[in-house]
Amino acid sequence: ALGSAMAPIGMGLKATIFCILAWASLAAGDRVYIHPFHLLFYTKNSCAQLENPSVETPPEPTFAPVPIQAKTSPVDEESLRDQLVLAVDKLGIEDRLRAKQVAMIANFLGFRMYKMLNEAGGTTSWEILSPPALFGTLVSFYLGSSDPTASQLQALLGVPGKEGDCTSRLDGKKVLSALQAIQGLLVAQGRTSSQAQVLLSTVVGLFTAPGLHLKQSFVQGLAPFAPAIFPRSLDLSTDLCLATEKINRFMQAVTGWKMNSPLAGVSTDSSLLFNTYVHFQGKMKGFSLVPGPQEFWVNNSTSVSTPMLSGTGTFQHWSDPQHNFSMTRVPLGESTALLLIQPHCTSDLDRVEVLVFHHNLLTWMKNLSPRAIRLTLPQLELRGSYNLQDLLTQAKLPTLLGADANLGKISDTNPRVGEVLNSVLLELKAVKGEQPTESAQQSGSLEVLDVTLNSPFLFAIYERHSGALHFLGRVDNPQSVA
């Protein structure tokens, strides 16, 4: 039974593994590797401890999550940000290397899952994918699992271990710390929070059926991935609409974010829902709101009115004459950028999406060069969510987190996992301030190129120090409410 369960994983994963290793060797030139990701694995010492615990380990303490209606103080996003910045201050060289490796693996997982969401067709109401959230969610389950589920999850992440070789297994703690570094590198730009151009907050809701006890060590272990974690219990066995409403109301109360996440694919015997909520806010320096609503062409016959931002400066830009799309890179702080990708012809969006988002988006960035540009784009407030269980089904792994999954490190009684939601709220706003780059004025003599995103386009948020793609998204209609 195990063999047949493993077969589709092996098949589906070959391509991914190949891609990651190929990229890793590209990045490192001709150097010879022991294993490109050995920094993320257990060391010989920790393996010895795992295999021979020197002291008798007592049963791990568990706790019963409080009911969802219990009073809860709201999340303070500024203090979450400060925590991340502190973590960045403490990073050593090896920690930064780990962050790069995890970013690389998460990017590839992101491309692969983006492709699956595309192939799943138009039934999901999504516009944004967060590779780090996706990755962090799967690593959280990896932390909570034992074999065979753990090794299946590791393979899905794209770095399969060797059977029976502890030193080829991911050390979940190291991986989640690297993910914390990735988040920190995004927000730790600008001395004070008022200077900061980006805000990123990750919150996890662990919703359990009454009676399910969670292991303390599991919930504490998630802290580097999500500094705010809310284990809460509620009735999941009868009225799922009511449960959805309660969860949404609770999350809105503690975060203040209007997300309205759907509850899907939950059966009434579910005992655990694992929901990750990500809020991103980017402030575009030197941009201002264009007076009055502007037209955005949803397709070649229909337009909607939407607020737009405009700014002039020197931006990295590339117009590909062969593949018929252009890419513009707008800085969001010292190391972070917003990448905007627009097909030359709107009806070509699907083709361009496959070209840039199903493979390695970053290779296209090599073509960018500075150019004086007047850029106009919609002010964005996008919401998207997807259920990882759907993605696993699409990846032909529908049972990976199913009834038979070995998740004994989450709880004493194996939880029955229902929905595993990733919800994203992404905002892009203007801040009036200095020009985007110093050379903006000097380039006045050159012709200023007009780049106007008034028809469907793609975007990504990229951070240079880690190499992480924090978001991949598609804007078909800036006014649509997902």
Ligand X SMILES: *[C@@H]1O[C@H](CO)[C@@H](O)[C@H](O)[C@H]1NC(C)=O
DSSP, res 19: H
- Choose, by CB under 6 A, the member of 35, 173, 323, 429 that binds ligand X: 323
Return d(Cα 414, Cα 144) in angstroms, integer.
10
Burial of 20 (0-12, 13-18, 19+ CB in 10 A): buried
**Lookup: tokens for 468:** 């992480």
Tell whether residue 216 is a contact of ligand X (CB under 6 A).
no
Tell whether residue 299 is a contact of ligand X (CB under 6 A).
yes
**Lookup: tokens for 328:** 């513009």
Return d(Cα 482, Cα 479) in angstroms, integer.
9
Q: Which is nearer to ligand X, 54 or 302 (CB)?
A: 302
- Choose, by CB under 6 A, the member of 52, 54, 238, 302 that binds ligand X: 302
How many residues touch ligand X under the rule CB under 6 A: the total is 8
Written as one letter, the residue type at 373 is I
Spell out, one character per residue from 333 to 372, where the chain touches ligand X: x when CB under 6 A holds, - when not.
Answer: --------------x-------------------------
Tell whether residue 300 is a contact of ligand X (CB under 6 A).
yes
Tell whether residue 324 is a contact of ligand X (CB under 6 A).
yes
Cβ 318 to ligand X shortest distance, Å = 15
Answer yes or no: are the C-beta atoms of 233 and 67 closer than 8 Å: yes
Return d(Cα 379, Cα 369) in angstroms, integer.
25
Return d(Cα 349, Cα 119) in angstroms, integer.
15
Cβ 439 to ligand X shortest distance, Å = 31
**Entry field: residues in the chain:** 482
Neighbouring-strand partners of residue 383? 425
Cβ count within 10 A of residue 26: 10
Cβ 118 to ligand X shortest distance, Å = 18
DSSP, res 192: S
Cβ 362 to ligand X shortest distance, Å = 21
Q: Which is nearer to ligand X, 72 or 299 (CB)?
A: 299
What is the torsion angle, in degrees rounded to the nearest 10, for the CA atoms of residue 112, residue 115, residue 121 and residue 123?
Answer: 50
Cβ 347 to ligand X shortest distance, Å = 4
The half-sphere exposure of 87 on its side-chain side, counting CA atoms within 13 A, is 25
Q: Which is nearer to ligand X, 200 or 327 (CB)?
A: 327
The piece of 49-57, 120-128, 249-257, 298-306 that touches ligand X (CB under 6 A) is 298-306
Q: Which is nearer to ligand X, 16 or 455 (CB)?
A: 455
- Choose, by CB under 6 A, the member of 52, 54, 301, 369 that binds ligand X: 301
The piece of 141-149, 276-284, 296-304, 305-313 that touches ligand X (CB under 6 A) is 296-304
Please report, for residues 248, 273, 393, the alpha-carbon distance to residue 231 in angstroms, rounded to integers and kept in the order given.
14, 10, 26
Cβ 317 to ligand X shortest distance, Å = 18
- Choose, by CB under 6 A, the member of 47, 97, 298, 449 that binds ligand X: 298
The half-sphere exposure of 306 on its side-chain side, counting CA atoms within 13 A, is 26
Q: Which is nearer to ligand X, 45 or 302 (CB)?
A: 302
Cβ 196 to ligand X shortest distance, Å = 36
Answer yes or no: are the C-beta atoms of 468 and 186 closer than 8 Å: yes
Q: Which is nearer to ligand X, 92 or 122 (CB)?
A: 122
The piece of 114-122, 293-301, 387-395, 406-414 that touches ligand X (CB under 6 A) is 293-301
Please report, for residues 98, 277, 281, the alpha-carbon distance to residue 248 in angstroms, rounded to integers and kept in the order given.
35, 11, 21
Q: Which is nearer to ligand X, 324 or 435 (CB)?
A: 324
The piece of 12-20, 292-300, 370-378, 436-444 that touches ligand X (CB under 6 A) is 292-300
Cβ 402 to ligand X shortest distance, Å = 37
Residue ranges that bind ligand X, judged by CB under 6 A: 298-302, 323-324, 347
